Structure 1
Amino acid sequence: MFLGHFGVGLATKPLQPRVSLGTLFLATQLADLLWPTLLLVGVERVEIRPGLLAASPFDFVYYPFSHSLLAQVVLGLVLGLTYGLLQRNWRGALLVGLLVPSHWLLDLIMHRPDLPLYFGASPKEGLGLWHSLPATLAIELGFLAAGLWVYLRHTRPRNRTGQFALWGLVVFLVLVYLGSELGPAPVSVPALAWSSQVLWLIVALGYWVDANREMA
């Protein structure tokens, strides 16, 4: 899943208004933020197999450090504690910590059974919605639309930047997603890993958007 994780970040903003949208994006997408770098250094492995699934050409061979349920729970504890210590906002820290493993739960809907529960010889889980491209697009766009609706209901722009930056972010997210979903498969694993670093830019844009909006 891609857009759905950002939809969750948008939707949870009203639960803890002091937590920036950028931090919520960081939490919901931490697994996918770490994964490309782990690919580049050879710690995790993926194979690109066009036609493998209707909505994904990726055979996730080995990625327990970023995408196992246990790893994401541990990463959630680390990120939540770090946020709590830095911001002195422990309710916000709880939300941030819980959002990290929410990534695994949403991915469970989309992936074929390739998501590990823990390190080592773990069972693999996945419900396989990626077998259907129309269902995948409906779920992804639906999650983003629902999250955006909640965010818009509970925030308002401080200035013109706050209005146009949000819609610019949404358009950018949708274009990136549709380009990757409907376009050709990456030519190589390094190309995939480097292009996936754009997620850090989206997190930064989340901080920028939220700094120019306020709770309604």
Structure 2
Amino acid sequence: MYLGHFGVGLAAKPLQPRVSLGTLFLAAQLADLLWPTLLLLNIERVAIRPGLMAASPFDFVYYPFSHSLLMQVALGLALGLLYGLVKKNWRGALLVGLLVPSHWLLDLVMHRPDLPLYPGLSPKEGLGLWHSLPGTLLVEFGLLAFGLWAYVRSTRPRNRTGRFVLWGLIAFLVLSYLGSELGPAPASVSALAWGGQLFWLPVVLAYWADANREMV
């Protein structure tokens, strides 16, 4: 899943207005932010197999540190604690901490049974929606649309930056997703891993957009 994680981050903003949208994106996408770097370091492994599933060519061979449920819970505790200590906002910290393992729960719907519960000899879970391209697109765009509706309904731009950066962010998310979903598979795992570093750009744009918006 890609757009859906950002949709959850957008939808979470009204729950804790003091937490920046950038932080919510960071939490909801932490697994996918770490994963490309772990691929580059050969700590985790993936194989690219075009045709493996209708909506994904990726055979996730080994990724227990970024994508196991136990590690995402641990990362959520760490990120939530760090946020609470820095911002002194413990309700916001709870939300940030919960968003991290929300990634595993959303991925559970999309992936075939390849998501580990914990590092080591773990059972693998997954419901396999990626086998259906129409179903995948419906869920991805549905979650993004709901999150965007919740965010726009509860915030307003303070200036032109707050308006245009938000819509630029959404355009980037949609176009990058459609390009990866409907375009050719990455040429190599290295190209995938380096391209995955662009996952940080929506986080940066979200901090920028949210700093120029205010709650209604």
Q: TM-score range by the shorter chain?
A: over 0.9
TM-aligned CA deviation for residue 135 of structure 1: 0.6
CA distance in 1, matches of 2:153, 2:98: 23
In structure 1, give the amino acid aligned to 2:100.
Answer: V
- Given residue 19 of structure 1, which amino acid in structure 2 is its aligned partner? V
Alignment partner of 1:199 is 2:199: yes
Quote the residue 2:118 is aligned against.
118
The answer for unaligned runs of 5 or more in structure 2 is none
Q: Structure 2: how far apart are the matches of 1:170 and 1:201?
A: 12
What amino acid does structure 1 have at the position aligned with 2:128?
A: G
Describe the SS at the equivalent of 1:112.
coil
Partners of 1:204 and 1:10 in 2: CA distance: 14
In the TM superposition, what is the alpha-carbon distance from 1:206 to its structure 2 partner?
0.6
Shift in Å, 1:123 = 0.3
Q: Deviations over 1:102-122 (max 9, x none)?
A: 000000000000000001100
The residue type equivalent to 2:182 in the other structure is L
What stretches of structure 1 move > 3 A for 4+ residues in a row?
Answer: none
Instruction: Tell me which residue corresponds to 1:28.
Output: 28
Q: Which residue of 1 aligns with 2:62?
A: 62
In structure 1, give the amino acid aligned to 2:18.
R
RMSD of the alignment, in Å? 0.4
Give 1:81-120 correspondences, 5 Å limit: 81-120=81-120
Aligned length in residues: 216
1:215 maps to which residue?
Answer: 215
Match of 1:74 in 2: 74
Query: 2: CA distance between counterparts of 1:208 and 1:17?
Result: 15
1:66, distance to aligned residue in structure 2 (A): 0.2
Query: Per the alignment, in what secondary structure is the counterpart of residue 187 of structure 1?
Result: coil
Instruction: Please give the alpha-carbon distance, in whole angstroms, between the structure 2 residues aligned to 1:14 and 1:136.
Output: 26
Aligned mates of 1:37, 1:165 — CA distance in 2 = 27
Deviation at 1:58, TM superposition (A): 0.2
TM-score normalised by L of structure 1: 0.99
Matched, 1:179 2:168: no
**Structure 2 length as normaliser, TM-score?**
0.99
In structure 2, how many angstroms separate the alpha carbons of the residues matched to 1:170 and 1:108? 24
Alpha-carbon distance in structure 1 between the residues aligned to 2:34 and 2:119: 16
Q: How far 1:161 sits from its partner (Å)?
A: 1.1
What is the rounded CA distance, in whole Å, between the counterparts of 1:65 and 1:158 in structure 2?
40
| Secondary structure, counterpart of 1:83 in structure 2 | helix
Map of 1:151 onto structure 2:
151
- For residue 164 of structure 1, report the CA deviation from its aligned partner: 1.2
* 2: CA distance, partners of 1:71 / 1:182: 31
Query: Hey, what does 1:167 align to over in structure 2?
Result: 167
Aligned-pair CA distance for 1:201: 1.1
* Structure 1 residues 22-60: Cα deviation after superposition (integer angstroms, max 9, x where no partner): 000000000000000000000000000000000000000
The percentage of aligned residue pairs carrying the same residue is: 80
Aligned to 2:42: 42
- Structure 1: where are the runs of 5+ without partners? none
The DSSP-based 3-state class of the residue aligned with 1:74 is helix
CA distance in 1, matches of 2:169, 2:62: 32
Give the structure 2 partner of residue 10 of structure 1: 10
**2:132 alignment partner in structure 1:** 132
CA distance in 2, matches of 1:43, 1:162: 39
1:121-141 CA distance string (max 9 Å, x none): 000000000000011011100
Corresponding letter in the other structure for 1:112: R
